Each structure stands twice: as C-alpha cells, then as structure tokens.
C-alpha cells in the first residue's frame, strides 16, 4: 500500500523567525532550516513512498535550500493557497496522479515528530479511514470572563489536543476537501475537523509530548536548546608527547609544518618534523591509542620523506571518529637555533589547519637549554607537546 506525506509549509507567519522576516518554517534551528528537520523525519521513514511539500508563493529558493538533500522521494513542491485548508487541497491534487492509498498530512512547524508516532497513525489507518496523533489534555481548562476572571472550569475528561500527522485514506480525504471547497467552507484549521464534517471516522492515537508546534520566538528558543549538542556526556582527556631528532648536513628544518632555513636539516625517516611528531603523540596519548610509531612504522617505505602532516591529520581524524573534539594543543620547541619567534604565527596557523581548529587553540613556544645538554650542544632539536580533548564518556 503506497503512502504519501504532505507537509504544509505555506504559512506566512514570521513570528518565530525573529526580525529576519523569513517565514518561520525556514528560520534556522541548530543551524538548519526548521523545515529541514521536519523533512528528515519523513525522508528517513521506510513507510513513505513520496513526500509532497506545499510552499508559500515566493519561497522556492528558501525551499530548495531546505530540501535540497532529500532528493529521491521528494515530489516537486507546489504553491499553497490563501488558507491552510486550501494549501492542503493543492497538495492533495498534486499527489493525485501518483494514486497513493493513504496520506499523512503534517505541519512543517512540528520538527520533533518521531517515527513511532508515524507508525501508530499508519497502524490505525488499517482499520479506520482517518487517524490522528493527539495528546490527552493535562491542564485544567478555564473559560475567561470579559474581565479576565475565571468564568467557568471546563471538564477536561475526554479532551485531546490534536497534533499532526493526520492520516487518511487518500481518496476519502481528497473527496472531503472537494466537497468542503464546493460548499464554500474554507476555514477548517485541521484536516480532522474537515473529515469530521464530511462524516469520516477519525481514530485518535497517542502523539508525543515532544511533537509541539513551534509558533513563537520562545518556542524556537526552547527548540534550539533541545537540539543543542550536550556537553554532559563529554569528558576531558589530556595527553603529552616528546620527540627528538638529530641534526645532519642540510639547509633547513621542517618544524611545526613550516620550512625554516637553517645551517642543518633534521635527520629522520619522514621529514623529521619533531614538533608535529610530539604533537601527534600527545593526541594519540589523550586517545589512549598508542604512539606515532604504532600507526606509521618507521620501517615502512611509504613514510620515507613523508610530510609529517599526514601523521597529525590522522590523529585528528581519530578524535573525530570517536565523536570527540580537540580543545587545545600546546608545544614547546627546545633548541639553541634556529630562532622560532619569526615563524611562530605561521606554525600556529599550519597546525590549526591540520587539526581543523582555530589558531587561538594552538600554542607554540620555544626555549634554549642555556647551552646545556644535547640541544645546548646544537646536536638536535627536542619538542614537548600536550593536547586536551573532549571525548564521549564511556565505561573506560
Ligand atoms: Mg620523530
């Protein structure tokens, strides 16, 4: 049995869109248009064969931006009418050629619909020509007097708040819409009311308390908080790294991803970038995933002369693969020469780019060892690094 979804996104309300003047269904929520969130629920549900969106006149560009990624099951959008009821009818007419057996009509401004509610509506449609998601009323209802005092308390027993989706046998709801339009009735605020008028049985199934209609700016604010990535499940991890490479005859050293002219080069299997090696080990250490040699064996000919950014970028991708992120890294280079200061900003920028973080999160420092030890004797360069990550908290 083929099933269509009809998403009503033709409203002109800008209340929730703030001062932007963008209709609320295109207002950004967690960085994406509200409609994108709503479409995703249907586009990822296996029971839907086609998704038809009804949009407002002039909203085509906004719609394309919001819907672009849901290609295959999305029918070309149609333009709505003067009322919600009229918009739904245009959507139903657009679906007619596809002859769906049933249709789920849903408000674009309800992005928190979940698949289980869709399942319940579809299940109820097996036995009824109509079925809607609804929530039993929990608040006590008051009727206000003209003086804004309580005139009456209304018995809430048996009262439900209608949500969407509202599902119907396709031909039955299309016929009901046609009859209502022919009778000059245009102000039904939901399709269940229209079906009721037409004498169709409409079953009530449990909706979801999360399936709210975002109407006001306050609703959008609340929704933003619901969708904001929570830091509660992340924990900080710190790692340290240390590396040394000796000088050999040459004309410069690779240090922190930057070539620094010098009277010697650094000896090593790769480009011997002692800074990036220490940093790679710091990140691997914070991950508890061994060291650079465990992932890039010095005996492997593939890494002969290789740019060390390969190692650091691999470590950063391991952080992302674990669902974590790099908070900051810090590096100290120990040598008498070359001087690091003139190259510091270029080094910070290079490391930031490799890690995909801001240069403000990258520290590069240098010190001599006062002529003491192997660095003091100018036999090589040493580097110390630390990295702090946020990783999803696990049992280990
Ligand atoms: Mg090394």
* Beta pairing partners, 253: 260
Q: How far apart are CA 107 and CA 122, in angstroms?
A: 17
The CA 243 to ligand 1 mean position distance, Å, reads: 5
Contact residues for 75 (Cβ-Cβ < 8 A; gap 6+): 50, 51, 52, 53, 94, 95, 98
The CA 5 to ligand 1 mean position distance, Å, reads: 58
Token pair for 205? 């199934």
Look at the chain and count its residues.
396
Token pair for 108? 């674009």
The CA 390 to ligand 1 mean position distance, Å, reads: 26
CB–CB of 240/384 below 8 Å? yes
The CA 274 to ligand 1 mean position distance, Å, reads: 5
The CA 324 to ligand 1 mean position distance, Å, reads: 25
- The reported pLDDT for the residue numbered 217 is 83
The CA 360 to ligand 1 mean position distance, Å, reads: 25
The CA 382 to ligand 1 mean position distance, Å, reads: 9
Q: How far apart are CA 119 and CA 68, in angstroms?
A: 26
Q: Is the peptide bond before 165 cis (omega within 30 degrees of 0)?
A: yes
The CA 271 to ligand 1 mean position distance, Å, reads: 9
CB–CB of 7/104 below 8 Å? no
CB–CB of 173/100 below 8 Å? no
3-state class (DSSP) for residue 141: strand
Contact residues for 187 (Cβ-Cβ < 8 A; gap 6+): 83, 85
How close are the terminal C-alpha atoms of the chain, in Å? 47
Q: How far apart are CA 288 and CA 214, in angstroms?
A: 44
Neighbour tally for 150: CB within 10 Å: 9
The CA 283 to ligand 1 mean position distance, Å, reads: 14
Taking only the tens of pLDDT, the chain with its 396 residues reads: 899 999 999 987 755 444 457 888 998 887 788 999 999 999 989 999 999 999 999 999 999 989 987 877 899 999 999 999 999 999 999 999 999 999 999 999 999 999 999 999 999 999 999 999 999 999 999 999 999 999 999 999 999 999 999 999 999 999 999 999 999 999 899 999 999 999 999 999 999 999 999 988 888 888 888 776 666 678 999 999 999 999 999 999 999 999 999 999 999 989 999 999 999 999 999 999 999 999 999 888 988 889 999 999 999 999 988 878 899 999 999 999 999 999 999 999 999 999 988 899 999 999 999 999 999 999 999 999 999 999 988 765
The CA 322 to ligand 1 mean position distance, Å, reads: 25
DSSP one-letter code for 146: T
pTM tops 0.75? no
The CA 102 to ligand 1 mean position distance, Å, reads: 65
The CA 285 to ligand 1 mean position distance, Å, reads: 15
The CA 327 to ligand 1 mean position distance, Å, reads: 24
The CA 277 to ligand 1 mean position distance, Å, reads: 5
The CA 86 to ligand 1 mean position distance, Å, reads: 70
The CA 266 to ligand 1 mean position distance, Å, reads: 10
Token pair for 155? 């018995």
Token pair for 218? 């306050």
- The reported pLDDT for the residue numbered 28 is 85
Token pair for 377? 């004797």
What is each CA distance from 294 to 151, 297, 299, 300, 307, in whole angstroms? 77, 6, 11, 11, 17
Tell me the longest C-alpha to C-alpha distance in the chain: 98
From edge to edge, which strands make up the β-sheet containing 78-79? 78-79, 50-55, 3-9, 102-107, 160-169, 130-136, 202-206
The CA 296 to ligand 1 mean position distance, Å, reads: 11
The CA 297 to ligand 1 mean position distance, Å, reads: 11
The CA 365 to ligand 1 mean position distance, Å, reads: 18
The CA 384 to ligand 1 mean position distance, Å, reads: 11
The CA 244 to ligand 1 mean position distance, Å, reads: 6
The CA 282 to ligand 1 mean position distance, Å, reads: 12
Quick one: which of 322, 321, 323, 293 has its CA closest to 308?
293
The CA 49 to ligand 1 mean position distance, Å, reads: 56
The CA 202 to ligand 1 mean position distance, Å, reads: 71
């Amino acid at each position: 049995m083929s099933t269509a979804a009809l998403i009503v996104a033709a409203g002109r309300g800008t209340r929730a869109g703030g001062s932007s003047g963008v209709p609320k269904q295109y207002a950004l929520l967690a960085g994406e248009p509200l409609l994108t969130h709503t479409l995703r629920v249907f586009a990822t549900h296996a029971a839907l064969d086609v998704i038809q969106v009804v949009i407002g006149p002039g909203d085509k560009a906004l719609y394309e931006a919001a819907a672009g990624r849901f290609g295959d099951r999305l029918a070309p959008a149609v333009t709505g009418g003067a009322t919600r009821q009229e918009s739904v009818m245009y959507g139903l007419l657009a679906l007619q050629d596809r002859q769906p057996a049933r249709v789920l009509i849903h408000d674009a401004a309800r992005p928190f619909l979940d698949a289980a509610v869709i399942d319940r509506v579809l299940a109820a449609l097996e036995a009824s020509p109509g079925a809607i998601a609804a929530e039993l009323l929990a608040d006590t209802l008051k009727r206000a007097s003209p003086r804004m005092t309580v005139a009456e308390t209304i018995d809430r027993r048996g009262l439900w708040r209608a949500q969407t989706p509202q599902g119907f046998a396709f031909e039955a709801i299309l016929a009901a819409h046609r009859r209502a339009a022919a009778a000059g009735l245009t102000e039904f605020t939901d399709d269940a009311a229209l079906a009721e008028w037409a004498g169709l049985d409409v079953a009530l199934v449990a909706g979801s308390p999360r399936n709210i209609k975002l109407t006001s700016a306050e609703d959008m604010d609340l929704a933003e908080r619901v969708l904001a990535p929570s830091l509660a499940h992340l924990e900080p991890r710190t790692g340290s790294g240390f590396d040394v490479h000796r000088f050999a005859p040459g004309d410069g050293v690779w240090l922190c991803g930057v070539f620094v002219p010098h009277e010697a080069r650094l000896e090593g299997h790769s480009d011997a970038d002692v800074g990036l090696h220490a940093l790679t080990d710091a990140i691997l250490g914070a991950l508890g995933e061994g060291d650079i040699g465990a992932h890039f064996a010095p005996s492997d000919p593939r890494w002969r002369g290789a740019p060390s950014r390969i190692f650091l970028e691999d470590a950063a991708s391991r952080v992302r693969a674990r669902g974590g992120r790099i908070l900051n890294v810090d590096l100290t280079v120990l040598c008498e020469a070359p001087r690091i200061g003139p190259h510091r900003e270029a080094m910070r920028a290079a490391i930031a780019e490799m890690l995909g973080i801001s240069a403000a999160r990258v520290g590069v420092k240098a010190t001599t060892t006062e002529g003491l030890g192997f660095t003091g004797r100018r036999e090589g360069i040493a580097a110390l690094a630390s990295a702090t990550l946020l990783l999803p908290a696990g049992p280990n």
